[in-house]
A and B are shown apart, each in its own frame.
Chain A
Amino acid sequence: MKFFEQIMKNFINIYIAIVLVCLAFTSCQKVIDIEVNSSASQLVIEGNITNIRGTQYVDISRSVAYTETNNYPGVTGADVQVTDNLGNTYKFSEMQRGHYAFGPLRGQTGRTYTLTVKVDNNTYTATSIMPAAVLVDSLSLSKVTFGSTERKLIAVNYTDPKGIANQYRYILRINGKGANRIYVEDDRLTDGNVIKEELYPYDNNDETEDVKSGDLASVEVQCIDKNIFNYWFTLRSQRRGGPNGGTTPGNPPSNLSNNALGYFSAHTYQTLDIVIP
């Protein structure tokens, strides 16, 4: 529910922020050592088909234990193919370790795409229907004041088509660096309206700096199907608050079979830029 859910989600943080200013509030954060369970390495598939004619990618990797470094081994030698409901088959080939590609290919609105990955005698499949594209008119800049600090937000402006369920995912990059945040929205409460979707470039949870004058902000806009929306929405709702703070975390509902992690998404693609004045 757009901004509102954002607000509700950060409700306690906002409250604390206010109280912090007003009282000698002593809320604090510190890094601690924790004991975690370790698990067997899991297969992770991240596949995207877009409506832009070009190379389409499927990445296959493995998860690592929590205590290890963030180096995720690519899975080599997989048999990767995508079919559509018209009977076309696109066989992907491994470009680099764990990175599979096919192209040029342009995804078509309304088509059902099925990904099949065979690796280590296991088969993983997922389907995704490419939604109709909703074109974004422009990006603009918004401001919001929390306590005594003014924050700049990047607003995405477009008109949502009436009578159709639309889901959107945005990827915000500041000077080419992806924001550590998930932006995902649907038109459950905004169907058919002129939309100003405001993206917070910063994350309350880390010390990412605010955007500054002269920064280049780019927003990739994806129209995604309902399953992919649920995937990102679940991930987002677990992002903040963590254990004891927000919802009990769990693995997001993937459209991949056979307990693979990740997703396969057929979506539309558009990207826009704005220079922060």
Chain B
Amino acid sequence: MSFKPVYCIFLFFILFHSLTALAQKRFTLSGSVRDAATGETLIGASVRLESATGKAGAITNAYGFYAVSANEGTYTLTISYISYKTVVQTIVLNKNINLNADLQAGKELQEVVVKAGERKNENVRSPQMGVERLDMKLLDNIPVLFGEKDVLKTIQLLPGVKSGGEGTTGFFVRGGASDQNLILLDEATVYNSSHLLGFFSTFNADAIKNVDLYKGGMPAQYGGRLSSVLDVKMDDGNNKQFSMQGGLGLISSRLKVEGPLIKDKSSFMISARRTYIDFLLKAAPDTSIRGNTLNFYDLNAKVNYKFDDKNTIYLSGYFGQDNIGIKDLFDNSWGNTTGTLRFNHVFNSRLFSNTSLIYNKYNYTVKLIDDVNNFTLTSLIRDINFKQDFQYFSNKHTLRFGIQGTHHRIAPSDISTSANSSFNPLSVENRYGLETSGYISDEYVVNPRVTLLYGLRVSLYNLLGPGTFNTYAANGDITSSATYGSGKSVSNYFNLEPRFSASYIINDENSVKASYNRNTQNIHILSNSGSSSPTDQYVMSSNNIRPEIADQVALGYFKNIQDNAYEFSGEVYYKTMQNQIEYKNAARLIANANVESELLFGHGRAYGLELYAKKTKGKLSGWISYTLSRTERKFNELNNGNYFPARQDRTHDVALVAIYKLGKRWTLSGNYIYNTGNAVTYPAGKYQVGGNTTYFYTERNANRLPYTSRLDVSATLEGKDTGKRFHSSWSFGLYNALNRKNPYSIDFRDVASDPTRTEAVQTSLFGIIPSVTLNFKF
């Protein structure tokens, strides 16, 4: 057959025209995915359309909303979510369709581990890397200290996340410092995420719906911290029926109440937790103990109102406080308060909007009680934050764009005293800052093999008056001083933060990914202790302090085996950090108006390999994570200007988590961790001054604490399924089941029996600690 050229041209036009016509006949399926029993929106549920000719898919966003576009046609629609029964139905896509799906919770809850949702091959397919989504149901089975299930301790079992120390909730991500984690609770910044000096986190697991941790490749909608984003979202509250759940533990008790205010339209959730160590104190036989206090409590609450399918409003809040006090001596209390008001609006099936107004505050009070040596010291950091986010779903693109404005106020120290106190009243000037940022990102499915996620965040930071602002010489002397009026810009910094991730799918089961991101940070913690302290000081970028900047590149390989029964990933990263902060010898951080004169600035680098293998199905599930890493800092004034290991630099970090379902009612679980000891400085020599043995140090952090090795086990017994609504379970746990004395700190001292010799003394915190918790739900 032969065609004359004119026919060819004609055919071409016909073909082209029909192609364009085809392209125009695309429709969008959108809506929300919810839990059928409680009406909770499901975050990260998978919505997939498949037909002989093509397939398309989407993931529900933070509000359970999804939108997926495809050519006109008949499709098999599959909606699935981790530990829920998958919905499969046939759908004729011949117009834009709004479809809200309710998923039933599955019975096999145990088949679930930390993974990115029950989304087939999602870990392979998504361009996002360095992200972990924590399944909240998993927390019931992870053995923890005192049986207090804890989000922050569970993420420390993931590769690339290092614990701040035994039993603590502080964490370090890919060589970052603990103040370089952006910790969000319903979008509000939680400045201090620990209770009781870090043994417990501020997150009451009962009230939490979803936890995402970004270690790298941060999406452009997040900004303000260098090393990670921990995005925690609270439950919305059951909008079908009232329910209660709670637990009685060794340390604390929890209670959560939720239910509809207007069925299917409005619901509420209130969750509270309180420790009762101080009730034990009151019962102590020793009268001197009775007046001491030691407690914490927190309260999470949320209400929402759904006007219609297109408009929903949410109001959520958190309030928590710690109190430690010794009778007639001192009192210390600290806590976070957050409030978030959000409005979701669906403009059309493709454009989703969220507007947030956020308030958060962290404050502490230290009181010294004495006739002469008395004072009350208060300090706070407060943010007011406005955010407008849009999500636009197009054929091959998902666009996210928005703006954010945050006003910071730091009241560093206010000291009040009695008239005859030996202390003077003092008020260190408040500091004000305004962070304005805008971002745009695009997830672009270039072809079935290649997906790009690229974006840009621009941030403008302004340190604002009023106040007197000093500039300091290297020796700490004031070189100049200037006074600014209210709202006047003292110094400002503009930063561009490019973010880029790409995935290349080799086949359904294998992919490689790469990412680059730059992050900046304008709020910095000054802490002179290795563990989290309630009196950590906050400073903002200023005429003396430049924003911290981190650049990170990462490469990853992702693999699934046997239909996602096994998942494997390996990632390598390299990160550089500029304008890192240390402080000088004899630095006075508290109640010091010239605290910025006490600082040193340097830079850091971190690199590592993270391996992660998970078994997600069957009676036995769990994971092994391994991190090989190095984290170093460099300051001209320290260690002769050479790189030295950061305290949290640990070469090897291993975590093994296993959960075994034994019959219908018992679940056994255990986790084992091993890590190289922290980098510390041991003396290289000794001498005598003032009659006391004094140590001589050479290289900074050149030594290692002994390694840490710990096995924790627990067993959970589910109550009999009586067919009634009441359900209970017992958890029995053993923390540090092998009773190994892991190092917390090492001190050097003269041997008491022989003062001519010196010995090293290791302090260990926790030996074997049993726990029992009763959980109930009805």
Stretch of A62-70, A107-115, A116-124 at the chain-chain interface: A62-70
Q: A22-B294, A261-B696 are in contact. List 4 more A-B contacts (CB 8 A).
A: A26-B766, A38-B684, A147-B289, A251-B697
The contact of A11 among B424, B533, B767, by CB within 8 Å, is: B533
Most B C-beta atoms less than 10 A away, residue of A37, A46, A150: A37
Pair B703/A35 contact, Cβ less than 8 Å: yes
Q: Does B530 contact A (CB under 8 A)?
A: yes
With A4-B368, A28-B764, A193-B423 in contact, is A230–B530 under 8 Å at CB?
A: no
Question: What total of A-B pairs shows CB separation below 8 Å?
Answer: 281
Q: Does A105 contact B (CB under 8 A)?
A: no
Most A C-beta atoms less than 10 A away, residue of B281, B330, B693, B699: B330
Which residues, 12 to 66 on A, are CB-close (under 8 Å) to B?
Answer: 12, 14-16, 18-19, 21-39, 41-42, 44, 46, 61-66
Most B C-beta atoms less than 10 A away, residue of A65, A70, A190, A205: A70
The chain A residue sitting closest to B685, CB to CB, is: A63
Pair A261/B368 contact, Cβ less than 8 Å: no
Pair B588/A188 contact, Cβ less than 8 Å: yes
Pair B700/A248 contact, Cβ less than 8 Å: yes
With A34-B703, A230-B586 in contact, is A39–B698 under 8 Å at CB?
A: yes
State the Cβ distance, B36 to closest chain A Cβ, in Å.
43
Q: Does B723 contact A (CB under 8 A)?
A: no
Bound complex: CA A207 to CA B681 (Å): 24
Which residues, 714 to 751 on B, are CB-close (under 8 Å) to A?
Answer: 741, 743-750
Bound complex: CA A113 to CA B590 (Å): 33
Bound complex: CA A61 to CA B691 (Å): 12
The contact of A250 among B366, B420, B685, B700, by CB within 8 Å, is: B700
The chain B residue sitting closest to A171, CB to CB, is: B690
Pair A262/B689 contact, Cβ less than 8 Å: yes
Q: Does B535 contact A (CB under 8 A)?
A: yes
Pair A196/B328 contact, Cβ less than 8 Å: no
Q: Does B143 contact A (CB under 8 A)?
A: no
The chain A residue sitting closest to B366, CB to CB, is: A4
B residues in contact with A65, CB < 8 Å: 684-686
Q: Does B359 contact A (CB under 8 A)?
A: no
The contact of B687 among A16, A21, A62, by CB within 8 Å, is: A62
Q: Does A213 contact B (CB under 8 A)?
A: no
Bound complex: CA A73 to CA B125 (Å): 69
The contact of A64 among B368, B686, B765, by CB within 8 Å, is: B686
Pair B746/A34 contact, Cβ less than 8 Å: yes
Q: Could you show 21 A-B contacts with beta carbons less than 8 Å apart?
A: A3-B370, A8-B535, A21-B286, A30-B764, A32-B760, A37-B699, A38-B684, A61-B687, A62-B687, A65-B686, A70-B750, A145-B326, A147-B289, A178-B692, A235-B689, A241-B745, A243-B745, A249-B683, A250-B700, A251-B696, A262-B689
Q: Does A244 contact B (CB under 8 A)?
A: yes
State the Cβ distance, B46 to closest chain A Cβ, in Å.
44
Which residues, 282 to 312 on B, are CB-close (under 8 Å) to A?
Answer: 284, 286, 288-289, 292, 294
Pair A32/B328 contact, Cβ less than 8 Å: no
With A32-B760, A244-B165 in contact, is A249–B697 under 8 Å at CB?
A: yes
Pair A245/B530 contact, Cβ less than 8 Å: yes
B residues in contact with A235, CB < 8 Å: 689, 694
Q: Does B758 contact A (CB under 8 A)?
A: yes
Pair B761/A32 contact, Cβ less than 8 Å: yes
The chain B residue sitting closest to A249, CB to CB, is: B681
Q: Does A76 contact B (CB under 8 A)?
A: no
Bound complex: CA A16 to CA B744 (Å): 13
B residues in contact with A249, CB < 8 Å: 681, 683, 695, 697
The contact of B286 among A148, A194, A196, A262, by CB within 8 Å, is: A148
The chain B residue sitting closest to A27, CB to CB, is: B765
Pair B422/A206 contact, Cβ less than 8 Å: no
The contact of B693 among A70, A182, A190, A241, by CB within 8 Å, is: A70
Pair B375/A4 contact, Cβ less than 8 Å: yes
With A3-B368, A15-B324 in contact, is A190–B692 under 8 Å at CB?
A: no
Pair B763/A29 contact, Cβ less than 8 Å: yes
With A22-B277, A22-B281, A248-B700 in contact, is A30–B762 under 8 Å at CB?
A: yes
Q: Does A1 contact B (CB under 8 A)?
A: yes
Q: Does B486 contact A (CB under 8 A)?
A: no
Which residues, 134 to 173 on A, are CB-close (under 8 Å) to B?
Answer: 144-148, 150, 171
Pair B755/A237 contact, Cβ less than 8 Å: no
Q: Does A200 contact B (CB under 8 A)?
A: no
B residues in contact with A37, CB < 8 Å: 682, 684, 698-699, 702-703
Interface size classification for chain A: 35 or more
Pair B682/A66 contact, Cβ less than 8 Å: yes
Pair A30/B741 contact, Cβ less than 8 Å: yes
Interface size classification for chain B: 35 or more
Bound complex: CA A37 to CA B705 (Å): 14
Q: Does B664 contact A (CB under 8 A)?
A: no
Bound complex: CA A31 to CA B705 (Å): 13
A residues in contact with B388, CB < 8 Å: none
A residues in contact with B330, CB < 8 Å: 7
State the Cβ distance, A173 to closest chain B Cβ, in Å.
10
Bound complex: CA A27 to CA B762 (Å): 11
Bound complex: CA A80 to CA B415 (Å): 47
Bound complex: CA A145 to CA B465 (Å): 45
State the Cβ distance, A53 to closest chain B Cβ, in Å.
23
B residues in contact with A196, CB < 8 Å: 372-373, 422
State the Cβ distance, A133 to closest chain B Cβ, in Å.
20
The contact of A180 among B687, B692, B762, by CB within 8 Å, is: B692
Q: Does A191 contact B (CB under 8 A)?
A: yes
State the Cβ distance, A28 to closest chain B Cβ, in Å.
5
Pair B372/A194 contact, Cβ less than 8 Å: yes
Bound complex: CA A69 to CA B762 (Å): 20
Bound complex: CA A112 to CA B259 (Å): 77
Pair B681/A70 contact, Cβ less than 8 Å: no
Q: Does B20 contact A (CB under 8 A)?
A: no
A residues in contact with B24, CB < 8 Å: none
A residues in contact with B592, CB < 8 Å: 188
Bound complex: CA A79 to CA B764 (Å): 48
A residues in contact with B692, CB < 8 Å: 178, 180, 182
Bound complex: CA A246 to CA B700 (Å): 14
A residues in contact with B288, CB < 8 Å: 145, 147-148, 150
Pair B682/A243 contact, Cβ less than 8 Å: yes
With A37-B702, A189-B415 in contact, is A194–B422 under 8 Å at CB?
A: yes
Pair A66/B695 contact, Cβ less than 8 Å: yes
Pair A1/B696 contact, Cβ less than 8 Å: no
Pair B763/A70 contact, Cβ less than 8 Å: no
Bound complex: CA A5 to CA B373 (Å): 12
- Contact flags B753-778 to A (C-beta < 8 A → 1, else 0): 00111111111111111000000000
The contact of A29 among B197, B328, B761, by CB within 8 Å, is: B761
Q: Does A198 contact B (CB under 8 A)?
A: yes
The chain B residue sitting closest to A246, CB to CB, is: B529
Bound complex: CA A39 to CA B687 (Å): 12
State the Cβ distance, B614 to closest chain A Cβ, in Å.
32
Bound complex: CA A251 to CA B745 (Å): 19
Q: Does A103 contact B (CB under 8 A)?
A: no
Q: Does B280 contact A (CB under 8 A)?
A: yes
Which residues, 221 to 244 on A, are CB-close (under 8 Å) to B?
Answer: 229-230, 233-235, 237, 240-244
The contact of B683 among A1, A66, A237, by CB within 8 Å, is: A66
Pair A63/B696 contact, Cβ less than 8 Å: yes
Bound complex: CA A180 to CA B234 (Å): 51
Q: Does A263 contact B (CB under 8 A)?
A: yes
Bound complex: CA A205 to CA B324 (Å): 22
- Contact flags B57-86 to A (C-beta < 8 A → 1, else 0): 000000000000000000000000000000
The chain B residue sitting closest to A254, CB to CB, is: B689
Q: Does A77 contact B (CB under 8 A)?
A: no
The chain B residue sitting closest to A18, CB to CB, is: B294
State the Cβ distance, A161 to closest chain B Cβ, in Å.
14
Q: Does A175 contact B (CB under 8 A)?
A: no
State the Cβ distance, A4 to closest chain B Cβ, in Å.
6
Q: Does A276 contact B (CB under 8 A)?
A: no
The contact of B585 among A22, A35, A230, by CB within 8 Å, is: A230
Pair A237/B528 contact, Cβ less than 8 Å: yes
Pair B701/A248 contact, Cβ less than 8 Å: yes
